Amino acid sequence: MYSYIKGLIVDIQSDHIVLENNGIGYLIYVSNPYAFSKGKEVVVYLYQQVKEDGILLYGFNLKEEKDLFLKLISVKGIGCKSACTMLASGDVEGICEAIESGNMTYLKKIPGIGPKAAGQIILDLQGKVTATKQTVVNQELEEAMEVLIALGYKQSEVDKVVKKLTDENLDTNGYVKKALSLIVK
């Protein structure tokens, strides 16, 4: 599976771009192809879909878009094309806020998303997505999370503890010590 690809945009169509990397042109489906500029070198985050009739690549400008896309396609009844349509119709923050607040009206305004799909998205993803503007980057806390994972703790355990530490103002070692004391309890 691919994580990202860096290359030159050589073609832009209504539903995809062609990105050239080392002499190979990759056809990548994107939610908003016109956000890319022809002739510009970019990094595109990828998702590879393997189907019985082909292998498709879906691309995203931001890692947050890819993360939301992956969560959306985990919902029953939402496929890659529907998830791309959602990302094309709204921004990541707006979609996350609608899911978290249970705003079915916002989700139903997206083409192809009816009341049943909107309800299923909210049911499956509420509490699992966060709007990016609410996320504050704390380098020491990020490093502490990586240390805990390296020590063998599960991501779910680390996430629970990190929520309790976001208001603290510590260095990396302080966060690790505090997190370990919370995990042990």
**Domain finish residue from 12, 43, 60:** 60
pLDDT tens digit sequence for 97-138: 999 999 999 999 998 899 999 999 999 999 888 754 434 457
Name the pLDDT band for 57 (thresholds 50, 70, 90). Answer: very high
**68 and 56 in a common domain:** no
Give which of 18, 31, 41 is closest to 69, Cα–Cα: 31
Domain of residue 80 covers 63-133
**107 and 46 in a common domain:** no
| CATH assignment at residue 127 | 1.10.150.20
| CATH assignment at residue 146 | 1.10.8
Give which of 87, 168, 96, 89 is closest to 134, Cα–Cα: 96
Strands 16-21 and 24-30: what pairing?
antiparallel
**165 and 152 in a common domain:** yes
**72 and 105 in a common domain:** yes
**121 and 77 in a common domain:** yes
Helix/strand/coil for 78? coil
CA dist., res. 124 & res. 120, Å (int): 6
**171 and 129 in a common domain:** no
Cβ count near 122 (within 10 Å) = 18
pLDDT tens digit sequence for 64-79: 999 999 999 999 999 9
CA dist., res. 131 & res. 24, Å (int): 36
Q: Select the more confidently predicted residue: 164 or 67.
A: 67
**104 and 88 in a common domain:** yes
CA dist., res. 146 & res. 28, Å (int): 31
Contact 12, 34 (CB under 8 A): yes
**Domain finish residue from 60, 75, 105:** 60
Q: What's the pLDDT score for residue 137? A: 52
Tell which phi-psi region holds residue 23, choosing left (phi > 0), alpha (psi between -120 and 50) or beta. left
**Domain finish residue from 133, 150, 176:** 133
**147 and 112 in a common domain:** no
Q: Which amino acid is at 95?
A: I
Q: Which amino acid is at 42?
A: V
**143 and 90 in a common domain:** no
Q: What's the pLDDT score for residue 134? A: 38
Contact 30, 46 (CB under 8 A): no
| CATH assignment at residue 11 | 2.40.50.140
**121 and 73 in a common domain:** yes
**152 and 125 in a common domain:** no
**128 and 87 in a common domain:** yes
Task: Label residues 87-106 b or e (16+ Cβ within 10 Å = b).
Answer: bebbebeebbbbbbeebbeb
Overall domain count for the chain: 3
Contact 7, 21 (CB under 8 A): yes
